[in-house]
Amino acid sequence: MASVTEIAQYLKDNAPQLANEFVDDIAQRFKVDVPTSDINQAKEIYTEFLGFLGELLACKEEKVPDGLLKWSKENGEREAANKGKISDIIIRYPDTRVVFTEQISRICFNYGLSSEDLVSIITRVNYFLDLSINETVFAFERYTDQLLKQVQEEVNYLSAPVVPIQDGIAILPLIGSIDLDRATMILEKVVPKVTRLKVNCLILDFSGILTIDAAIAKHIFDIHNVLRLIGVNTIATGIRPDLAQLVVSGGINLSAITSFATVRQAIDSMN
């Protein structure tokens, strides 16, 4: 009667051939046509996975090798980098689990493995599949979150440009919805840029703002206090009645900053 060690060695020695059989079996179960490129990539991935599986079965310890976790992580990151969806990964696993169970059971039967060892192997296979999918999903989410954060930072930066309009005068048009992240970015990026452009007066134009709360408004108006310390005058324009009420309710003293209804009025006042 064969041992689990022999099965493990068989999986490692025949990983490429088994991967071809497993993937072809899985692809036939899908209700949609699978591109040849995806099938070939899957065969490469399953060849690696079967190699890991052989190593895991040969090891008496339950500790999962770093290689499997690294492989699963790279699988998730690759899918995210290719603009894939997490469902594209999850949807493969039910059929994958069935095929692995059937194919490995067949191998074990052919080797005359005991029922007890067969159950042990199938249990470990399913356990390793679960660990793999968990790490893959976690990696996909981390990679996607990182991409979204980078995009949001770029959007925030581009959505708050300091635009010179005359010598020493620039305008900061505030557009759309402003949350804490964007307000913080404005405070961090605008002040150095104003200094670099040698701006003497900055116009904060609120006419394009859609939504903002009192706490965020206070954060924005802190720009006025910071710029005042470095000798830059600040003018506010486009403050609607609802925004003015919100600002006052947040404890901000509007009388401390010069205000005009429009940017044109602000510019005319300086000429």
Domain ranges of the chain: 4-154, 163-270
DSSP string, the chain: ---HHHHHHHHHHTHHHHHHHHHHHHHHHSSSPPPHHHHHHHHHHHHHHHHHHHHHHH-SS-PPPHHHHHHHHHHHHHHHHTT--HHHHHTTHHHHHHHHHHHHHHHHHHTT--HHHHHHHHHHHHHHHHHHHHHHHHHHHHHHHHHHHHHHHHHHHHTS--EEEETTEEEEEEEE---HHHHHHHHHHHHHHHHHTT-SEEEEEEEEE----HHHHHHHHHHHHHHHHTT-EEEEE---HHHHHHHHHTT--GGGSEEESSHHHHHHHH-
pTM: 0.58
Q: Measured between alpha carbons, how far is 267 from 204 in angstroms, rounded to an integer?
A: 12
Cα Rg, the chain, nearest whole Å? 31
pLDDT band at 187 (very low <50, low <70, confident <90, very high): confident
Question: Which residue from 183, 271, 188, 169 is spatially nearest to 226, judged by alpha carbons?
Answer: 188
Which of residues 236 and 156 earns the better pLDDT score?
236
- Give the residue-averaged pLDDT of 44-66: 78
Q: Does the fold of domain 163-270 match that of domain 4-154?
A: no
Which of residues 251 and 204 earns the better pLDDT score?
204
- Give the residue-averaged pLDDT of 242-267: 83
Query: What CATH code is assigned to 4-154?
Result: 1.10.490.10
Report whether CATH 3.40.50.300 matches the domain 163-270.
no
Supply the mean pLDDT for the chain.
Answer: 84
Strands 201-209 and 233-237: parallel
Backbone angles phi, psi at 106, to 5 degrees: -65, -45
Tell whether the model's pLDDT for residue 31 goes beyond 70: no
Please, are residues 86 and 143 in contact by the beta-carbon 8 Å criterion? no
pLDDT in tens, 5-21: 888 899 999 999 999 99
